Structure 1
Amino acid sequence: MNGQQQQTESIKNLIRNIEIGSIVLPEFQRDFVWDITKTYELFDSLVRGIFIGSIIYGKPSFEITVREIDKRPRKGPGSRTPIPPINYSQEEIENKTQIENFRLILDGQQRATSIYRALKGIDTVWLIIKNEDEVEEEIQEKEFRNRSLEEVIFEFSGHPDDNRLSINLADAYSMAINSDLFEEDIRKNGKSESGRSGQVYGLAVAGADGDL
């Protein structure tokens, strides 16, 4: 492996690099084992600015066998389908590291996989927002668009809450990535065409460019 360097990476870049196969796992890494409650706790920590630990990468310089991040459903068809190994020659590795910033996750697989699965909709994660009467009085004095996500979050859950505004993280992330004007619209007008829900989407996806 090449020498390690400290750097930050946005969640958006993490997702993109996993999708194109530039971030993978060495074959010897253990399987993804976190249950869904760990994912809820992870996103709660991210929203509240609690340090979640670093993701440590390595850049190989030799022939190696790797596998992709676990994208299988937790239950049902495909959940037990083996993840096929991928063999790369030394020449292929040299090309991929130079051109694609090819990396192996050495530590942090559970966190990286959980983030990917939630934002791509493999695992269903809902952000539940407090009702107005549940928000602290000093926060109620702020305009809605000026409130931070930490100030309005009730919890992360696997189901929408019939009594509170509920936002699917995968939908919010998709909206943020696919609409270049969305966040600018939120900043300028305080709402999108979808109204109040759009404001909360703006809060929910603000972390898409956040650093890990």
Structure 2
Amino acid sequence: NLQQPSISHRAPDGQFVVGSQGPVITRGHSFTIICSTESQYPGGSFHLFRGSNITRSESAVSHSASFFFPEADYSHEGNYSCVYEVSVSSRSFRSSASQLLLITITASLLPVIGAAVSAVLILLSVLIIILLLKRRQQQRNNEMHLNSFTKAKLKKNDDEVDYENVKRHENMDHDDSKQDYINVNSDQSEEDCINVNVTEKSVVDKSDDAIYESPD
């Protein structure tokens, strides 16, 4: 009787995890199922079963055979087992089936990760746009406030200039009025002085005439 062969698996790119019932292979990645047996007879071959059906057969090399799956798909899921067959003296002998190896195929996380990254990027873009709009609105408000403050300050300066001009004109009018008053008083004094002199001269003349007339 032939010994029961062993069955194992290998994922070259490491895209698998060991579940409670067997390996879980990521869809789209490669994996290999390996069948091996103890050295009893040279040569022989291994048959790979999925369920009760033979899926592949490979010649034994160093009492083992590898069944390579380049791209895992959901159609590859199932219970796998190995059977070793060898011919001795024109007679074929088969071993019993190995233990079952349950292969499970899972969806790739790349699309999920890509979708998550895209969602995060979109969210960040929206937040950046909102922040930029708020900053622009704040800048506009600051500019409007600054313009209002500048206009108010300019108006205040204009009012102060107008007040100073009015005050200056009032002072000039006051000075002119005072000068006119002084001129009027000066002219009046000169006129009064002339009148007094004329009056005094008239009196003197009359006195002289009286003196000349008194001997008669």
Q: TM-score range by the shorter chain?
A: under 0.3
Tell me which of the two structures has the higher relative contact order, counting C-alpha pairs closer than 8 angstroms and 6 or more residues apart.
1
TM superposition score normalised by structure 1: 0.20
TM superposition score normalised by structure 2: 0.20
Higher-strand-fraction structure:
2
